[in-house]
Amino acid sequence: MTACSRTRSSTVATAAALVCTFLLTLSGAAVTVAPTASAVAPTASAVSLTAAATGRDVSWPQCPKGVGRGYGLPMPPASAGLVVIGLTAGPGFKANPCLLSQTRWAKSRHVYAAAYAMTTFPTGSQLARYRSSGPYRATTYARRLANVGFAQARFNVASLRRAGLASPIVWVDVEPYTPGWTANKAANKAVIDGVVRGYRSAGYRVGFYSIPQMWSKIMGTARYRFPEWRTAGARGQAVAKARCARSYSFQGGGAVLSQWWGPSVDYNTTCPSANTPALLSTYFHKY
């Protein structure tokens, strides 16, 4: 799903893959924040639970070889109940070339579908292009960065709508990548603030994909209290399920999805607090 997991899925081991594996297998202390009732999923005790919905996330690595950087990785099996489809082909302002075909796949299988997008710090040329064309007065560096974040989100919204992908939420992927986020966490947050505004003003909910270690490295102590999609990396399904716990929150939000990796596949399952049809419809569109 992510730059980290997609790098791992490659048959070619890279330095970036090693960095991602290291980051996602750290055992640092979890962040515990009391969520607000209006911003996060209910606790498991507040709903009548059904079986978890399981499936996969897909993006440019599932493109056929020769299409973009596609690896030709498999689409989910017929048993998949959900799919989360990537809008980007790696960094911001670069669309997934297989978004239309992957959306058609979701429609034909009648699965629960949602969208996610890798989010990245702007390059110099992106900053120059978008710094003044957004909802923020470009009077400070932070506001200029926020305008670029806003433009990055709207670029993805345009991709989503062209493909006809129905999704009530866009999951914002916050993780390391190359060339990377800056050491200035306030600057990084300004980009994410703009991204959040871009999606929400276009009518979409926002959730975050990350883990406590990655989030704190990039965003510091920033807390949005939005829904969370948490990964266990290569640690397996049992660890992924455990990360649905409230104590594993990285920005104060409730757990909706948990993820774990196989050699070439990203698996996902809904957390207990999202396991009702009514709540699933908050985060997925049922085709």
CATH number, domain 3-286: 3.20.20.80
Overall average pLDDT of the 270-284 stretch: 88
Q: How far apart are CA 162 and CA 159, in angstroms?
A: 5
Could you read off the pLDDT of 6-29 as tens digits, one per residue?
433 333 333 333 334 333 333 333
Q: Please write the tens of the pLDDT for every residue from 139-152.
A: 999 999 999 999 99
Averaged pLDDT of the chain: 86
What is the predicted pLDDT for the residue at 1? 56
Residue 79 has pLDDT above 60, yes or no: yes
Query: What residues contact residue 49 under an 8 Å CB cut-off, 6+ apart?
Result: 272, 275, 276
Give, in degrees to the nearest 5, the angle at Cα 104 between 100 and 109. Answer: 150
Neighbours of 281 (CB within 10 A): 12
pLDDT tens readout for residues 17-66: 333 433 333 333 333 223 333 333 333 333 333 578 899 999 999 999 99
Q: Sketch the domain layout of the chain as residue ranges.
A: 3-286
CA of 252: how far to CAs of 134, 157, 170, 249, in Å?
28, 25, 18, 6
What pLDDT score was predicted for residue 276?
82
Which whole-number Å values give the CA distances from 134 to 122, 126, 141, in the listed order? 14, 13, 13
pLDDT tens, position by position, 185-238: 999 999 999 999 999 999 999 999 999 999 999 999 999 999 999 999 999 999
66-75 long-range contacts, CB within 8 A, separation 24+: 67/97, 67/98, 68/96, 68/97, 68/98, 70/97, 70/98, 71/9, 71/10, 71/11, 71/264, 73/9, 73/264, 73/265, 74/264, 74/265, 75/102, 75/105
Give φ, ψ of 188 to 5 degrees.
-60, -45
For residue range 174-194, list pLDDT tens digits in order.
999 988 999 999 999 999 999
The mean pLDDT value for 78-91 works out to 96
pLDDT at 263: 87
User: What's the rounded Cα separation, in Å, for the pair 252 and 208?
Assistant: 11
Neighbours of 206 (CB within 10 A): 19
User: What is the predicted pLDDT for the residue at 21?
Assistant: 36
Is residue 248's pLDDT more than 80? yes
Exposure of 24 in the CB half-sphere (CA atoms within 13 A): 31
Q: What is the pLDDT confidence band of residue 120, given thresholds at 50, 70 and 90?
A: very high
- Which helix (H) or strand (E) segment is 256 a member of? strand 255-261
Region 100-122: what's the mean pLDDT?
A: 97
